[in-house]
Each structure stands twice: as C-alpha cells, then as structure tokens.
C-alpha cells in the first residue's frame, strides 16, 4: 500500500486498471441514484415510504445549509452539491463497517483514500470560486487583496490551505479509524472491534457533517455580501 492506495487492480477495462476503491465508489453512487429514483418516480402530495425518507433528508440538509449560508438563494443554489457531498461521504464512511469488509484483500472505504478526499476538496475549491464569480462577477477578485495588496500572498495561501485541510482531515480520520479496526480485528476478533465500530457510526456521521459544514461556509463566504 502506497500513500493510502492499495496495490493491484481488481479487473481491467481495456488498458484501464479498476481497483476495489473505484468499484466501491461506483456502488455508492449507484446506491444513491437508485434510492433517489425510487423515492421520486411516483411522488405523492402526502409523502410515504421511500419518498418520505428522501424528502426528510433533503429538507434537513436544505434547512441546515440555509442557516449556515444566511442568504437563501445561495443555499438553494448550492444545496444539491452539498447534500451530495454529505450523502456520499456518509455512506463511504459507513462502507467500512460492512461485516467482513476488513477481511477483503484490497478493500477500503473511498474516504480512507487521499485521492478521493482530495477530489472532493477540489470540487469544493472550484465551487467556492464559481459561487464568488456568480454572485459578484469580476469584483470577486477584490477579496484577494483585502484589506490591502500586501495581503495578497496570505490570501492566496489561505485559498490553497482550504482544500488541503479538507483533504487531510477527512482522509486522516477515516484512514486511521480503518487501520485501528483492522488491527483490532486481528488481535481480538468480534470483541473490541464491535465497540470501535459502534463509535465509528458516530464518527462517520461527524466527519461527513464537518466536511459539508466547512464546504458550505467557504461557499457562503465567497458568495456573501462581504465581497
């Protein structure tokens, strides 16, 4: 394993190597897509079943982001992206808790790989600046030299630090958690790991919420009246 990536492909598509990580990501994306389709294909005025569950998730995340972003039109515009972040990260974190997953050679939750967390962080990075230009046009560039031109280097460093911190925070927490669970499974199967997995349910949700909160706060700052 090198830098959080497992060696060896699972199978090949032509000359392209496909490993467990990619397959797990596909499965999670398909799961979210299928659930969303099933919940919305025959919507009722009074929601029930899957529609009720899906609407509860969408309403909760929308209201949460609206409070964070203050400006409702910004929250409404970016809520789909942030909700997708939250659901993908949450399910990715929990995918490591599937019974027997730790014994599958090469398997790892997507968020325990720095390439995945970096990609999510880069989506946030570009979303921030798209939101800034969308709300303020070329005037958005002015915040890079606020309150003076002398702050330009520090402001640029801060912009780079945001996706870096998002990448390292999510990757480090999930990767470390997976390593602890795998070690404990080897040392004391089904005893200590059960307690750790219970804690992982809480930590997995917290990490998904923290990543999404930080992403929404960065977008809100770029789109806010302060710029």
Does residue 7 register a pLDDT over 60? no
Of the listed ranges 5-9, 86-90, 116-120, 124-128, the one predicted with least confidence: 5-9
pLDDT single digits (tens) 153-182? 777 777 777 878 888 777 777 777 666 666
pTM: 0.79
Inter-residue long-range contacts of 174-178, CB under 8 Å, 24+ positions, other chains counted: 174/92, 174/93, 174/96, 174/109, 174/111, 174/112, 174/117, 174/204, 174/207, 175/4, 175/112, 175/113, 175/114, 177/96, 177/112, 177/203, 178/96, 178/102, 178/108, 178/109, 178/112
pLDDT single digits (tens) 62-90? 888 777 777 778 888 888 899 999 999 99
pLDDT single digits (tens) 29-62? 999 999 999 988 888 877 778 888 888 888 888 8
Please, which pLDDT band fits residue 109 given cuts at 50, 70 and 90?
Answer: confident
Q: Which of 212, 183, 36, 224 has its CA nearest to residue 111? A: 212
Does residue 23 register a pLDDT over 50? yes
b/e per residue 68-80 (b: at least 16 CB within 10 A): bbeeeebbebbbe
Higher-scoring residue by pLDDT: 70, 127: 127
């Amino acid at each position: 394993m090198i830098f959080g990536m497992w060696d060896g492909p699972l199978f090949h598509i032509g000359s392209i190597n496909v490993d467990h990580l990619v397959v797990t990501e596909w499965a999670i994306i398909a799961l979210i897509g299928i659930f969303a389709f099933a919940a919305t294909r025959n919507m009722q005025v009074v929601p029930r079943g899957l529609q009720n569950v899906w609407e509860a998730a969408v309403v909760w995340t929308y209201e949460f982001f609206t409070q964070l972003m203050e400006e409702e039109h910004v929250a409404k515009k970016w809520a789909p992206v942030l909700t997708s972040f939250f659901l993908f990260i949450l399910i990715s974190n929990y995918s490591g808790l599937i019974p027997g997953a730790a014994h599958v050679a090469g398997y790892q939750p997507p968020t325990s790989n720095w390439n995945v967390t970096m990609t999510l962080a880069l989506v946030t990075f570009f979303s921030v600046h798209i939101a800034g230009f969308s709300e303020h046009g070329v005037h958005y560039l002015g915040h890079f030299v606020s309150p003076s031109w002398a702050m330009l280097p520090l402001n640029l460093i801060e912009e780079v630090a945001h996706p870096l911190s998002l990448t390292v925070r999510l990757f480090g927490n999930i990767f470390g958690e997976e390593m602890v669970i795998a070690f404990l499974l080897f040392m004391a199967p089904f005893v200590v790991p059960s307690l750790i997995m219970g804690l992982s349910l809480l930590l997995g949700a917290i990490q998904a919420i923290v990543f999404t909160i930080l992403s929404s706060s960065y977008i809100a700052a770029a789109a806010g009246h302060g710029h």
